[in-house]
A = this chain, B = another copy of it.
Amino acid sequence: MDEATFHQKLRALPLHVGAAGLGDDVALLDGLVITVDTLIEGVHFLPSDPAPSVAWKLLAVNLSDLAAKGAVPEGVLLSYPLGNEAWDATFVDGLADALSQLGCVLLGGDTVSLPAGAPRVLGITAFGRPDGGAIPRRSGAEAGDALWVTGTIGDAGAGLAIARGAPGPERLLQRYRRPQPRLREGRLLAPHVSAMMDVSDGLLIDAARMAAASGLRVTIDLAQVPLSADLRAWGGDALAAATSGDDYELLFAAPADRDPPVPATRIGSFAPGRGIALLRNGAPVPLPATLGWQHGGLR
């Protein structure tokens, strides 16, 4: 069963009003923004990734969902598979460092034992508080809105290739291993955007999801997709960058006549219709076979 079909079946279950029809990455309860993300060894991280990096990433990807809703992290619950003593110890050290650097605290922790040889499965439930009140949904884009993205795209995809043995600079590797949730940017953007989400599965697939949730068509100009100097030097191109995922930048829709209050790049626009279209410097480009990842995972 694919993710869309499964979610469709879930939507037929008795839902909480705060589930908002399961149409977003978060739930709302008593004014709290709540999100769950799971990282699986061999799917979301490599067995060779150091334990402190996995701890960082586990926390960062959850806080990234809060950032996209303009929320301030309040705390996290950890679900952790006890296993190798040395790995477990450095994981906790890494988590301490990540909590401290990302301004978050632990609300609780549950340990589980995995069968021998099973891949590690780590979960976090993260709680955030809206900073002021505006909680942008992914479904709020309007026809005529511009599409923007923070930071640069594709660095983590290159970093994954480097983690797997390709030559390349440490800075790109760290973009894959230690994503930076855009918490400050999310808080500043929240009151000014019509829709916002983080880029986790790939710029194109996530933009297509925002368009679908908003009942619109989105057009992206690949020539505008922001690539880092490191990625250009490494030989990365815009199409690979826009489908490689793990960026954890913020993707948002805003009225075309307004500039955002944080540095960001305008990469496209919304119009009546459905689906996604690509341009390069104004000329149509065929869609690639895959726009990104369907439910997370290494490429």
Give me the interface of A with B, judged by CB distance under 8 Å. Answer: 1-3, 6-7, 9-10, 12-16, 18-19, 22, 26-27, 29-32, 34-38, 40-44, 74-75, 77-80, 82, 85, 88-89, 92, 95-96, 99-100, 104-115, 118-119, 121, 123, 125, 127, 294-297
| Set of chain B residues within 8 Å of A42, measured between Cβ atoms | 115, 118
Is the beta-carbon distance between A80 and B6 smaller than 8 angstroms? yes
CB distance from A201 to the nearest CB of B (A): 12
Stoichiometry, as copies per complex, reads 2
| Set of chain B residues within 8 Å of A118, measured between Cβ atoms | 40, 42, 118-119
| Set of chain B residues within 8 Å of A127, measured between Cβ atoms | 29
Given contacts A18-B75, A27-B77, list 7 more A-B pairs with CB under 8 A.
A6-B88, A10-B92, A13-B99, A15-B105, A16-B105, A82-B295, A118-B118
| Set of chain B residues within 8 Å of A1, measured between Cβ atoms | 82, 85, 88-89
Is the beta-carbon distance between B105 and A6 smaller than 8 angstroms? no
Closest residue to A296 on the B side, CB-wise? Answer: B112
Closest residue to A8 on the B side, CB-wise? Answer: B92
Given known A82-B1, A88-B6, contact A38–B123 (CB-CB < 8 A) = yes
| Set of chain B residues within 8 Å of A109, measured between Cβ atoms | 7, 10, 22
CA distance in complex: A113, B41 (Å): 11
CA distance in complex: A281, B31 (Å): 53
Is the beta-carbon distance between B114 and A36 smaller than 8 angstroms? no
Is the beta-carbon distance between B27 and A29 smaller than 8 angstroms? no
Given known A14-B96, A74-B29, A125-B125, contact A108–B19 (CB-CB < 8 A) = yes
Is the beta-carbon distance between B113 and A7 smaller than 8 angstroms? no
CA distance in complex: A113, B294 (Å): 9
Instruction: Say which residue of B27, B35, B92 sits within 8 Å of A13 (CB atoms).
Output: B92
| Set of chain B residues within 8 Å of A110, measured between Cβ atoms | 36-38
Given known A29-B32, A77-B36, contact A14–B295 (CB-CB < 8 A) = no
| Set of chain B residues within 8 Å of A41, measured between Cβ atoms | 115
| Set of chain B residues within 8 Å of A30, measured between Cβ atoms | 30-32
CA distance in complex: A114, B40 (Å): 7
For the complex of A and B, list the 7 residue pairs with the smallest distance between their C-beta atoms, beginning with the closest. Answer: A16-B75, A27-B108, A27-B107, A121-B121, A125-B125, A16-B107, A14-B105
8 examples of A-B residue contacts, CB within 8 angstroms: A1-B82, A14-B99, A14-B105, A29-B32, A30-B30, A38-B110, A38-B121, A118-B119
Is the beta-carbon distance between B125 and A77 smaller than 8 angstroms? yes
Is the beta-carbon distance between A115 and B32 smaller than 8 angstroms? no
